[in-house]
Amino acid sequence: MLNYLIRRIGYGLLILLGVNLLTFVLFFQVNTPDDMARLNIGGKRVTQDQIEKWKAERGYDKPLYLNRERSGVEVVTETIFWERSVSLFALDFGRADSESAGDIGSEVRKRMVVSLQLALPLFLLQLLVSTVFALLLVFFRHSRIDFWGVVLCVVMLSISSLFYIVIGQYLFSRLLHWVPVSGYAGGLSALKFLLLPIFLSLLSRLGGEARLYRAMLLEEVGKDYVRTARAKGLGEHIVLGRHVLRNALIPILTSAGGYLPYVFLGSLVFESFFGLPGLGAYVIDAISGQDFAIVRTMVFLGSLLYIASYILIDVAYTWVDPRVRLS
């Protein structure tokens, strides 16, 4: 397993390097440092002196890729690519482009706590509730409960998450006054601000996840080992819970693992609508403010988390099914 992990980490670093380089190239193909200075300074009349000052303050006055010294040797240590892109591998995110944003690293650490408070309970609840609901449908398969359960899943899957947000805010905040419409507070007070977005996000994803898990479980139900278990006299609930679910955990883990990066990066839609100062809202604000330093950092972190999550899923396979060998 150790050789496998080393190889996967090596491949992941190559992928991360490629994503990082491609992101950097695309950003500076769209906007030059002068364009970025004009966007951030604002106003119709921006002088060249103001542009040069802004670039010098943020390190954009250096060459993009290579710096030619007097001896004629080209080096990369004093370039925008080295300071703004390669430094990301050391988790040195630098300073944001906008005047008020400040240090990116401190903002990421502060906002990640809020995103975790929202996304971690959501991830665990979504996995538990979707699996239990799918098991219930499989237990009552070919019955009215299964039929109307699938219909409900399709209906829930067809409704936009924005609809859930609007209806949920109106019903639970405006009419019933159970929770605030939006906002955030630290400590235990955060619970009342997080309950509604967690519930609505769970509701918006339940249909698709439960329908997918149901299909995975039904694929296992018709196999020989299930018929053997029934022939031994085991009850249907034991067959489903002890045998079918265990063998269906690998595809379920693969599906659920795709959401792991969102546990850290937050939800763009729900954090924005509920006024939660997490990483999702941070990205939205950066895009609106044309802050490319923050966007590049979040793209890098997203790629890093995706690579790490799928490596962890591979390791989890060996825990779920001892027959799996990583080599």
> Taking a C-beta distance cutoff of 8 angstroms, is the pair 110, 278 a contact?
no
H-assigned helices in 42-103 = 48-58, 80-84
Rounded to the nearest integer, the mean pLDDT of the chain is 82
pLDDT of residue 100: 64
Pairwise CA distance, residues 58 & 193, whole Å = 36
Q: Higher confidence at residue 194 or residue 312? A: 194
Pairwise CA distance, residues 303 & 15, whole Å = 9
pLDDT of residue 298: 87
Helix (H), strand (E) at residue 321 = none
- Chain-centroid distance of CA 291 in Å reads 20
Highest mean pLDDT pick, 153-157, 287-291, 295-299: 153-157
∠ Cα 237 238 242 (to 5°): 120
- Position 263 pLDDT exceeds 90: no
Task: Tell me the per-residue pLDDT of 42-61, one tens digit each, with 9 for 90 and over.
Answer: 766 778 788 888 788 777 77
Task: Tell me the per-residue pLDDT of 106-133, one tens digit each, with 9 for 90 and over.
Answer: 888 888 888 888 888 888 898 899 999 9
Task: Tell me the per-residue pLDDT of 219-247, one tens digit each, with 9 for 90 and over.
Answer: 888 888 888 888 888 888 888 887 888 88
Where are the chain's structural domains?
2-90, 105-320
* Confidence category of residue 75, pLDDT binned at 50, 70, 90: low
Q: Among all chains, which residue has been given the structure tokens 């992928």?
A: 15
33, 39, 101: which is closest to 277 by C-alpha? 101
The matching CATH number, chosen from 3.30.450.20, 3.40.30.10, 1.10.3720.10, 1.10.1740.10, for 105-320 is 1.10.3720.10
> Taking a C-beta distance cutoff of 8 angstroms, is the pair 278, 66 a contact?
no
